Amino acid sequence: MTAAAMTERPAPYVQPTQYKLSAAGLLGSEWTKLWSLRSTWIVLLCAVVFSAGLGALISGTVPTDLEIGGAETAVGFAMSGVGLSSVFVSVLGILVITGEYSTGSIRSTMSAAPKRLGVLWAKAAVFGAVVTVLFTVMVFATFFLSQALLDGTDLGGISLGDEGVTRALVGYVAMIVYLTLLAIAIGAILRNSAGSIGFYIGVIMILPQLATLLPWDWVSDVTPYAPGNAANTITYVDASGQALGVGESWLWMGVWLVVAYGVAGLLLKRRDM
Amino acid sequence: MNGRPADRTVVCMIEIEHLTKRYGKKTAVDDLTFNVKPGVVTGFLGPNGAGKSTTMRAVVGLDAPTSGLARVNGKHYSEFRSPLTEVGALLEAKSVHAGRSAYNHLLALARTHGIPKRRVQEVIDLVGLHEVAGKRVGGFSLGMGQRLGIAVALLGDPAVLILDEPVNGLDPDGVKWIRVLLKGLAAEGRTVFLSSHLMSELAQTAEHLIVIGQGRLLADTTVDDFVSGNGQARVRVVSPDAARLAEHLAGPGVSIASPEKGVLEVSGTEAAVVGQTAAAHGLVLHELRTDRGSLEDAFMQLTADAVEYRQTTEGASR
Ligand SMILES: Nc1ncnc2c1ncn2[C@@H]1O[C@H](COP(=O)(O)OP(=O)(O)OP(=O)(O)O)[C@@H](O)[C@H]1O
Ligand SMILES: [Mg+2]
């Protein structure tokens, strides 16, 4: 049986030629992966509830005799839940990538896309786009809701046309997207869920705040540039008093994303899966 | 499936050239060189920790070789424009997110290459997962996870299949099914490369064998040659004149044991020689038989020095 089979080898098999790995394919794949996990739905729902709910709660309970007013404070009240929900979406962004490592599905993913980098870009693009759309809607809806509740107080009567208001609201959306993208890169670098979440919350979110308590002047000079603070300026209606200008703020967000994705990409290419 | 008559030059689909992989100080694969050809099932055999999985991961570009090359059809795996139609790999059962359904896992992989949903359904049916395709993979049994892994490997209808212990966790029905499936795929001209630590399992499926131990190549041969070359052939003789026969048979390279009175087990010679010797001295024989060593014996003999994780109690290993 062996001898016969050896001499009469079948004709070479020709595999299907109509299928090709493509960037569009990778985006579609990440879209499918994102929405086929229950955790995505749960976390995004929590993010929406917190950012709208907290904004509404705080706006709805402002004492009428409070001696405050102005667009800055009004926007700040409306967006009070957004910071919290940015933690939700950042953690989800981390899990989008570390979840693949912890379950081993990264091996399936990377054997379908052996150049690897496309997977990272696709994950960032898909999740970044979802967060952009979701939070654009959320931020503006929460602002209008809050304004409706604040009507009649000194914080009411603010419109998108007022100077700096729309820019600040867009700034909130951009800040959340920026932090989410940063979180995805951290997940790609550390590959471990607990480690990445710990690093993100501890080093990116909390450390720059704690650092301001240190007695050295140079520390407070650099903290505004830290990855977790770089986006702060763009969320102010009047950004003139901030350590970073609006342009600088965008610049530093870009710098940190390039650094984070540069490191993530390099490591992704180099490391064994 | 899409087979077409073509030139009959034998191409090597998988080429491993001086492949070495170290993890820190640990050398998992050590200067390994072999080829895997299309049209037959090739078994990849070795004890635990021999480096089978490492070699297979290197082929699909998941682990970078420390030195040497692993190529498919002349190319590095990452150079392919449609990797899933070139190589289908089952590397570890459940390389799947536990929270995702089998269908969605396959769909996500299919979408990277623009493979239609129809094909996803096809492979689900093929591996017999249609009833649970919508369930979360976290609840799957080992065998179901293994079937999903096989579905993933078949998704792109690839020319090369690399399967790391595909029968692991399958029930007897499943084992039979995969045997037939793999032979059929090879008969279509595909390259089928599967690993196992069970020689007996491979002997029923594979035609060619690559045996490694401690990361080194021990044998690259056909199953038949492997068995006859390594299986210790023993001649069993039953004779009332056993003691005298033994005296005449004794010689260099011949070892004779007598497990019971009147019975000899002779190795290092052949039945014909034993028969002639008996006739020449006028000795009566009641039985003369060649016992081929089992495949497992042959394998264990070959890898005896290369077994890394051996039980301390020798008796328990038999
Ligand atoms: N990622 C890794 N890091 C460190 N060591 C590894 C890694 N992968 C494999 N090894 C080591 O390399 C050696 C070969 O492992 P490999 O998994 O390739 O063996 P195997 O032949 O597949 O074994 P088994 O039959 O048990 O599956 C083992 O000693 C293993 O401990
Ligand atoms: Mg293995």
User: What number is the ipTM of this complex?
Assistant: 0.89
Q: Give residue-wise pLDDT tens across range B179-216.
A: 999 999 999 999 999 999 888 788 889 999 999 989 99
Ligand 1 pocket residue status of B45, Cβ below 6 Å = no
Specify the ligand 1 atom closest to the Cα of B63.
1
Cα(B188)–Cα(B180) distance, rounded to whole angstroms?
13
Residues B135 and B259 in one domain: no
At residue A69, the pLDDT reads 67
Is residue B19, in this structure, part of any structural domain at all? Answer: yes
Structural domain contains residue B301: no
Q: Which of B156, B158, B187 shows the shortest C-beta gap to A10?
A: B187
What tens digit of pLDDT does each residue of B45-84 get? 998 899 999 999 999 999 999 999 999 999 999 999 999 9
Task: State pLDDT tens for residues A141-174.
Answer: 989 988 888 887 777 778 888 888 899 999 999 9
Q: What sign does the dihedral B234-B237-B238-B244 (CA atoms) show?
A: negative
Probe site for chain A from B78, B80, B112 (most A CB atoms < 10 A): B112
* Residue with the larger pLDDT of the pair B206 and B231: B206
- From its phi and psi, is residue B5 left (phi > 0), alpha (psi between -120 and 50) or beta? beta
Q: What percent of chain B has pLDDT over 70?
A: 88
Q: Is B42 a member of any domain?
A: yes
Residue of B nearest to A97 (CA): B97
Tokens of B46: 């070795």
Domain boundary at B173, B205, B228, which? B228
In 3D space, the residue among A102, A191, A187 whose CA is nearest the CA of residue B94 turns out to be A102
Contact, B160 vs B136, CB < 8 A? no
The pLDDT assigned to B86 comes to 94
Most confident of A52-61, A88-97, A239-248: A88-97
B8 confidence band (pLDDT: 50, 70, 90)? very low
Distance CA B182, CA B201 (A): 13
Residue of higher predicted confidence among A99 and B197: A99
With tokens 């931020």, the residue in question is A139
Residues making up chain A, counted from first to last: 273
What is the SS3 assignment for B101? strand
3-state secondary structure of A192: coil
User: pLDDT digit string (tens) for B119-164?
Assistant: 999 999 999 999 999 999 999 998 899 999 999 999 999 999 999 9
Which pLDDT band holds residue B315 (cuts at 50, 70, 90)?
Answer: very low
| Same structural domain, B250 and B179 | no
Please check whether residue B261 is in contact with residue B240, taking contact to mean a CB–CB distance below 8 angstroms.
no
**Does residue A73 lie in a domain region?**
yes
B46 CB less than 6 Å from ligand 1?
Answer: yes
HSE on the CB side for B260, CA within 13 Å? 1
Residue B152: the pLDDT is 96
pLDDT in tens, A208-222: 888 877 778 788 788
Find the Cα–Cα–Cα–Cα dihedral B170, B172, B178, B183, rounded to 10°.
150
Residues 6+ apart with CB under 8 A from B224: A2
Interface size between A and B, measured as CB pairs under 8 A? 175
CB proximity A4 to B under 8 Å: no
Nearest Cα to Cα of residue B307 among B54, B49, B53 = B49
Dmax over CA atoms of chain B, in Å, equals 78
Q: B126 phi and psi, to 5 degrees?
A: -60, -40
Which of helix, strand or coil describes residue A50?
helix
A115 against B11, higher pLDDT: A115
Which among B184, B210, B228 is the end of a domain? Answer: B228
pLDDT over 60 at A9, yes or no: no
CB A244 within 8 A of CB A256: no
Q: How far is the centre of ligand 2, averaged over its atoms, from the C-alpha of B125 (Å)?
A: 27
Q: Which domain holds residue A229?
A: 23-270
Residue by residue, DSSP assigns B55-93 as HHHHHTTSS--SEEEEEETTB-GGG-SSHHHHEEEE-ST
Q: Answer yes or no: is the C-beta of B214 below 6 A from any ligand 1 atom.
A: no
Measure CA A68 to chain center: 32
Q: Which of B16, B20, B25, B52 to mutate to test the pocket of ligand 1 (most atoms within 8 A of CB)?
A: B52
Residue B182 shares a structural domain with residue B208: yes
Phi (first) and psi of residue B212, to 5 degrees: -130, 160
* Domain harbouring B105, CATH code: 3.40.50.300
**With an 8 Å Cβ cutoff, are B40 and A9 in contact?**
yes
**Cross-chain Cβ contact A22/B114 below 8 Å:** yes
Tell me whether A170 touches chain B (CB under 8 Å): no
Residue B307 lies in a domain: no
From residue B47, give the alpha-carbon distance in Å to each of B55, B57, B158, B212, B246.
Answer: 14, 17, 28, 8, 37
Q: Please report the pLDDT score of residue A74 as a whole number.
A: 83
pLDDT at A8: 55
Across the interface, which of B11, B98, B158 has its CB nearest the CB of A15?
A: B158
Higher pLDDT, A31 or A2: A31
Number of domains observed in the structure of chain A: 1
Token code pair at residue A198: 């710990």
- Asked if the model's pLDDT at residue B285 lies above 60, the reply is yes
Overall domain count for chain B = 2
| Residues pairing with B217 in the sheet | B212
pLDDT of residue A210: 84
Whether B174 has a pLDDT exceeding 70, the answer reads: yes
Q: What pLDDT band is residue A190 in, cutting at 50, 70 and 90? A: very high
Which amino acid residue places its CA nearest to atom 5 of ligand 1? B23
Distance in angstroms (rounded) separating the CA atoms of residues B286 and B272: 15
User: Do B118 and B184 fall within a single domain?
Assistant: yes
Q: Atom 7 in ligand 1: which residue has the minimum CA distance?
A: B23
Atom of ligand 1 at shortest distance to CA of B21? 12
Closest CB to B107: pick one of A20, A32, A107. Answer: A32
Q: Is residue B199 part of a domain?
A: yes
| Residue B68 Rama label (left phi>0; alpha psi -120 to 50; beta) | left
- A111, two tokens: 């054997």
Full domain range(s) for residue B241: 234-291
Measured by CA distance, the residue closest to atom 10 of ligand 1 is B28
Give me the pLDDT at residue B258, please.
Answer: 86
Q: Is residue B204 part of a domain?
A: yes
Q: Determine, yes or no, domain membership for B68.
A: yes
* B32 and B50 belong to one structural domain: yes
Q: What is the pLDDT of residue A55?
A: 82
Q: Which two tokens stand for residue B250?
A: 């004794």
Note whether B213 and B46 are within 8 A (CB).
yes
Closest residue (by CA) to atom 16 of ligand 1? B51
Q: Do B207 and A5 count as a contact with CB atoms less than 8 A apart?
A: yes
pLDDT band at B311 (very low <50, low <70, confident <90, very high): low
Which tokens hold the place of B25? 């100080």
Compute the distance from residue B54 Cα to the ligand 2 centre, in Å: 7
- Asked if residue B316 belongs to a domain, the reply is no
Residue B11, classed as helix, strand or coil, is: coil
Q: Specify whether B77 is located in the same domain as B160.
A: yes
Give the residue-averaged pLDDT of B250-268.
85
Domain termination residue (choose one: B197, B228, B259): B228
Q: Find out whether B93 and B147 touch, Cβ atoms under 8 Å.
A: no
- B193 plus B285 within the same structural domain: no
Looking at the partner chain, which of B3, B40, B96 has a beta carbon nearest the beta carbon of A14? B3
State pLDDT tens for residues B266-275.
888 888 889 9
In chain A, pLDDT over 70 holds for what percent of residues? Answer: 94
Higher-confidence residue: B106 or A9? B106
A238 located within any domain = yes
What residues contact A191, with CB distance under 8 A and at least 6 apart? A97, A98, A101
Structure tokens of B267? Answer: 């190795």
Chain B positions touching A19 (Cβ under 8 A) are 82, 84-85, 113-115, 156
Answer for the pair B231, B292: CB distance below 8 angstroms, yes or no: yes
Strand ranges for chain B from DSSP E: 14-23, 26-36, 41-45, 67-72, 87-90, 160-163, 191-196, 208-213, 216-222, 234-238, 255-257, 263-267, 287-291
Asked if A157 has any chain B CB less than 8 Å from its own CB, the reply is: no
